[in-house]
Structure 1
Amino acid sequence: MTEPLVTESSGLTPEQRLGPADPALITAGIVTIHDLETLRACVAYENQHRQRVPVLRRLAQRASELRAE
């Protein structure tokens, strides 16, 4: 059994960020991403598990924000 991928931004796994059913919790998980490595891990998780278009759109928006910083 492998350990879940924990990324730098607050030590949360992509599943912890994107797993809740509550959209407000998902949004909170996304806005607290502060590096592209974490963001890429979350995109990979979403593509592999749920493929929710609104979540992927929000992740793309956050990527643009991070690149602009």
Structure 2
Amino acid sequence: MSSQESENAGTLTPEQRLTPTNLDLRRACIVTIADIETVQACVAYENAHQNREPILRRLAQQAAELRAE
């Protein structure tokens, strides 16, 4: 991922990260989250709007990976 792509990934809102209908795109939007605060914002958004268990599990996995770094 180029630095420009990384910068653009950091500017996505939780809604933009979690609403793509393409599963691969949604997965990519989650794995590019670089900080716990963004994961928390995405979890809050998902809980308030759709509460999809697979998305919440993937966000928890991303948070665990970030904490391990």
TM-score (norm 2): 0.84
SS of the aligned residue for 2:21 comes to: coil
Deviating 4+ runs (over 3 angstroms)? none
Partner of 1:54: 54
Q: Of Structure 1 and Structure 2, which has the larger fraction of its residues in helix?
A: 2
TM-score, normalization: structure 1? 0.84
How many positions carry a matched residue from both structures? 61
Q: Secondary structure at the match of 1:57?
A: helix
SS of structure 2 residue aligned to 1:64: helix
1:13-55 CA deviation, whole Å, 9 max, x = no partner? 0000001111111101100100000000000000000111000
Q: Which runs of 5+ in 1 are unaligned?
A: 1-8
Q: What is the identity, as a one-letter code, of the residue corresponding to 1:21?
A: T
Structure 2: gaps of 5 or more residues: 1-8
Q: Which residue of 2 aligns with 1:21?
A: 21
Could you say what secondary structure the match of 1:21 adopts? coil
Quick one: percent identity of the two aligned structures?
64
Supply the AA of the counterpart residue of 2:26.
I
